[in-house]
Structure 1
Amino acid sequence: MYKKERFKKGFTLIETLVAIGLFILGIQATVMVFSKTMKNKAYSLEMGKSSFVVSRSMGDLTQYMRRARQSDDGSYPIVSANDNDLVLYSDYDKDGKTERLHIYLTDGRVYMGIRRPSESFPPSYASGDETTIELARQIVNTATDPMFSYYNKDYPEDVINNPVDTPADTSEIRLIKIFLKINIDPNRAPDNIQQETFVELRNLNDYDRIH
């Protein structure tokens, strides 16, 4: 009797090429997933950093605005109040002198312009900002998301007339909301981080009693 010769079945050329192709596709998919994961982590990290900077800047602004007071030349504490532009007087650096602060949002960045009073007597304030500092960037507020909203003394009982229309009557303002939306990539709108805070202008109550 003849024994049947047994052959080990191997891969054909086509099967080998298919296997290699699948292996390469698997590697590419793994690389893409890894790359996307790393990009998401980097995005989240940068968003976290930007959010922290904005949060710190909002904290500083809150303190500056809370200390709003009559200027050194006797002018009312608030000069003008618009959606993305606020001018008021405050001793922001606690040097005993009242500076004029111009806080505004433009081109995705928040700035604060500063004008110090003159050294002459009586003191006066020149027009325009003397110095300007950047407080925050990567801001993506839209026309329907103003940086500032203003409320009168009747809020929160009166929600019909609050927030007040802008440009606001500065004599009516008693509370200001600061609202900012942050995103390092404006194309990823759903991922916006929102921060807001309310600032009570306490010194205006004293101003009302005196005047």
Structure 2
Amino acid sequence: MKKNKKNIALGFTLVETLVALAIFTMGMQATVMVFAKTMKSKAYSLEMGKASFIVSRSMGDLVGYIRRARQSDNGAFPIVSADENDLVLYSDYNKDGITERLHIYLLDGKVYLGVRKPSAVMPKTYATGDGETFELAKQIVNTASDPMFSYYNKDYPMDSVNNPVNAPADVSKIRLVKIFLKINIDPNRPSDNIEQETFVEIRNLNDYDRIY
């Protein structure tokens, strides 16, 4: 006697197909989200690196300007004024033999350099205000408790009680300047701030110590 063989369904039922499709869709969504988050993180890191490089290069320029501070072409003291986020001094910033008045300041998250050349005729004079202004760095997130500039007298580091000197500083006492900047392309992520700091000795002011 022959036995009838029943066909066994090997395919998915409609319900199983829908469940599998839903799982696949959720998996794809999760993959896309992870990929997007990874790419966003990489883009953030890349932009932070670029911003940090620009700030580092600008700080190198500022170090040179401040280190070479000297008497103006009309004989004025090398430093005009020194505040927490604003420094005015005389220096040959472009090495052309002319002593310009430089105005270095932090405003609205950007570092600027204002330049004023002396008059072309004798006696040499400097007009008020900045003749030209250049943007040196941006995406700076210093706060009121993190000033761009700090100033130190000739007794530092032995005298830590009177250093840094109070700002606005007595310019005749300044011998060393600290530059401090915090960088972040997204101020809402303070934990990711990149900090850059350097100290600059004003070489020509050592001559004042020997003379006076």
Q: 1:146-195 CA deviation, whole Å, 9 max, x = no partner?
A: 00011111111111111111101111111000000111111111111111
Looking at structure 1, the residues matched to 113 and 70 of structure 2 have their Cα atoms a distance apart, in angstroms, of: 17
Partner residue in 2 for 1:145: 146
2:50 aligns to what? 49
Q: Please report the TM-score for the alignment, with normalisation by the length of structure 1.
A: 0.96
Counterpart amino acid of residue 174 in structure 1? R
Identity %: 73
Stretch moving more, 8-17 or 71-80: 8-17
Distance in 2 (alpha carbons) for counterparts of 1:14 and 1:176: 74
Which residue in the other structure is 1:160 paired with? 161
Alpha-carbon offset, residue 123 of structure 1: 0.3
Q: Distance in 2 between matches of 1:181 and 1:164?
A: 22
| CA apart distance, 1:50 | 0.8
Q: Which residue of 2 aligns with 1:197?
A: 198
2:109 aligned residue: 108
Letter in 2 for 1:189: P
1: CA distance, partners of 2:107 / 2:85: 8
SS at match of 1:63: helix
- Matched residue, 1:208: 209
What TM-score does the superposition give when structure 2 sets the normalisation length? 0.95
Instruction: Give 3-state SS (helix, strand or coil) of 1:202's partner.
Output: coil
SS of 2:204's equivalent in the other structure is: helix
Distance in 1 (CA, whole Å) between partners of 2:131 and 2:47 is 32
Q: Distance in 2 between matches of 1:5 and 1:105?
A: 85
Q: Does the alignment pair 1:28 with 2:25?
A: no
Structure 1, residues 184-211: CA drift from partner, whole Å, max 9, x if none? 1111111111111100011001133345
Report the equivalent of 1:179: 180
CA distance in 1 between partners of 2:12 and 2:97 (Å): 87
Letter in 2 for 1:12: T
Aligned to 1:13: 14
Q: What value does the CA root-mean-square deviation take over the aligned residues?
A: 1.3
Aligned residue pairs total 211
Determine the C-alpha separation between the residues in 2 that align with 1:206 and 1:119: 28
What does residue 135 of structure 2 align with?
Answer: 134
The alpha carbon displacement at 1:104 in A equals: 0.2
Q: CA deviation at 1:111?
A: 0.2
AA aligned opposite 1:13: L
- Equivalent-residue separation in structure 2 for 1:172 and 1:18 (angstroms): 78
Corresponding residue of 1:39? 40
Deviations for 1:58-87, whole angstroms, at most 9, x for unmatched residues? 000000000001111111111111110000
User: Shift of the alpha carbon at 1:10?
Assistant: 3.5
Per-residue deviation, residues 66-123 of structure 1 (Å, max 9, x unmatched): 0001111111111111110000000111111111000000011000000011112110
| Structure 2 residue identity aligned to 1:183 | N
Q: Give, in whole Å, the separation in 1 of the partners of 2:98 and 2:150.
A: 27
Structure 1: tracts of 5 or more residues without a match: none
